[in-house]
Amino acid sequence: MQSGAPHSGVGRVIADRYHLLNQLGSGGMGHVWLAHDQQLDCEVALKEIVFGSPGEEERDRTARVARARAEARHAAGLRGHPNVVTVHDVLEHEELPWIVMEYVPGALDLKALVTQRGPLAPAECARIGLAVLDALTAGHERGVMHRDVKPANILLAPDRTGSPYARVLLTDYGISVQPDTQETRYTRTHVLVGTAGYLAPERAQGGPPTAAADLFSLGCTLYYAVEGYGPFDRDSEIAALTAVVLEEPRPTLRAGALESLLAAMLAKDPVRRITAAETEAALSAIVTPQVHPRTEPDLGSQPQWAGERTHTVEPEVIGSGVRHETPWYPPEAPSAWAPSPGQGFCAPPRTTGTTGTAGTTGRHRFHRSKALLAGVATALGLTLLVGGGWYAMGNLPGGGVGGSGGQALPYGEAVGLAEPLKDGDCVDVSWTDARFEGTPRLRLVPECTGSAMDGQVMAFYEASSAEDAEAGGAAQCEQLTEEDRGNLVDIRSYPVLPTDDGFDAAGHRVACLLLGERRPVYGPIGRHRQVGSTVFVDTATMQKQDCLEPISETKARLVPCQDRHRQKVLGFHEMPADTTYEQATTKALAACARNVPPEEYGYEDAATRSDSWISEDGWKKGAHYVVCTVISASGGTMEGEEA
């Protein structure tokens, strides 16, 4: 922790409102935190401006506080723009400035995307360029220059269709600090503001920031996106600045239809540089090329996931994404992008046997009665005899109710599903070999209940081909499910890959499952739960910031955090692998109090204390996790949190 921010850290509450959850990034001039807004019950990003030393504090405090306010005003003036990260507020806490911004989960910056997947296709670069140009133009019309357009300041996030990179957002608007990178900045008064290699020549020579200079930086950014490196990348910042002023850009190899436009955007003389309006027209022509008779389109200008689509249902094309009959719809509002208290999602109640004690020991145990499971198995068998044939026929290749009528199976014979998976589908997973080895066979679980509920579809990755799906599906599913996995425990993602023959039948998409690492998840998870009707009979589906109302020693209901509640989940603690369940029941409470103390989450030490839940079923399967909660020290209810 830097000396200028002695009171910041995970669990602190800023301005009596923002509860810091974890640090998203850090750099020489500040930190960015994921925080929970306790008034609006949503997640936000908090940018903390800090000082490196007492000497710097004396010299720069007043100027930097004023600058933070100005930066926030610049970005807040564009809060209605769809391609600008929204700034909600600027405040001071303990004499340090904080900027409250939109939190964009699932986002990946352009630099990271190119690093992970390689250069993008020219048409996809043009689509991104159009969105960023629109944001820049909106700022320029208000007299605000960005001054630091670069790949790390462009976020690509899922849109409402689930297409992972369809939403384009310009961040750090008018801000020369990028906490989560190590790139050199020039930020002191009368010194250059920007990033070496992306500054316009006139700016590198001390000229004022202009719209033309931002356009040059956008050209450098698009060059990086299509080529995989910057046009003036050098071994040092000084060498890069020299190249910007004196040298021509490195020759393009992959730019295709973008080549001539990039040359016009990177003109040294701002007077001769292409204008924003001309740039918009050129980018639009690449994104939507004019098709002339007997003229083949420039394949080099197509998005990297573009391809022939043969869906039986006419899709609606949105940018490079495709909306199918059953898309994933993550809410656009930042308040709902991260699971937060009071937002519903849940599993129907299930009956289970109970043993153990609570209250005096502070432990809650989950047991699964063998007799009950036997009864469920009997009932399931009768159900299959009476009506299961209908459902089974629907999952046979090429026939039965809801079958594909001879169409190739989307995920192949090994997986066995006749129809593509949809958002929220629950599955029973049968592994031929060890868990997570080989290709499992999947069976839909229609009601998302019962011990067979191994996992659930939480996201989709739209691939350009079956080869692309196989090469990048696992990594993309990791990224798209990162937030959900972070709120659960003992969970991992698994990509269900389309085959060559089934690529069209799968809708060109990889289905991203969340599965229990060592055991089933036993019910709907994440956004698919519903507050008020979910009854936990196992810890597998409890997630951070859940508010609970215990029903018995082994059951708890998920309730709105705005209402009075008995407990709130703070986190999880893993015990050593050799710990027996019996030992865990005696150690769980102390382990939570020591490792997940409520006071680190903003709760008063005298008014609250730790509590815990453990699962015998999970323990026996190797999931040695304790769910740690906070409860009222008096044993009563906790006050509802402001909505």
Q: Which of 27-31, 309-313, 497-501, 543-547 shows the lowest mean pLDDT across its residues?
A: 309-313
- H-state helical runs in 258-361: 259-265, 276-287
For tokens 């009528």, the residue is 405
Reported as a pLDDT band with limits 50, 70 and 90, residue 163 is: confident
- Please give the helix or strand (H or E) that residue 476 lies within, else none: helix 466-480
Sequence-separated (6 or more) residues with CB below 8 Å from residue 293: none
Spatial separation of the C-alpha atoms in residues 204 and 193, rounded to whole Å: 9
Side chain identity, residue 579:
T
108-301 belongs to CATH 3.30.1390.20: no
- Strand-pairing partners, residue 42, are 37
Are the C-beta atoms of residues 535 and 551 closer than 8 Å to each other? yes
Calculate mean pLDDT across residues 160-175: 78
Are the C-beta atoms of residues 63 and 71 closer than 8 Å to each other? no
Are the C-beta atoms of residues 402 and 419 closer than 8 Å to each other? yes
What's phi and psi for 455, nearest 5 deg?
Answer: -170, 180
Specify the higher pLDDT residue, 180 or 516: 516
pLDDT per residue as tens digits for the range 276-318: 999 999 999 998 765 444 333 343 433 333 333 333 323 232 2
Residue 570 has pLDDT above 50, yes or no: yes
DSSP 229: S
Where are the chain's structural domains?
13-102, 108-301, 370-402, 403-526
Are both 13-102 and 108-301 of the same fold?
A: no
- Strand-pairing partners, residue 428, are 443
Longest dimension (CA), the chain: 82
Question: What is 13-102's CATH number, 3.50.50.60, 3.30.200.20, 3.40.50.300, 3.40.50.2300?
Answer: 3.30.200.20
Spatial separation of the C-alpha atoms in residues 387 and 237, rounded to whole Å: 70
Spatial separation of the C-alpha atoms in residues 343 and 547, rounded to whole Å: 10
Whether residue 47 is annotated as binding a ligand: the answer is yes
Residue 78 has pLDDT above 80, yes or no: no
DSSP letters for 218-242: HHHHHHHHHHSS-TT--SSHHHHHH
pTM for this predicted structure: 0.46
Spatial separation of the C-alpha atoms in residues 60 and 52, rounded to whole Å: 11
Residue 59 has pLDDT above 90, yes or no: no
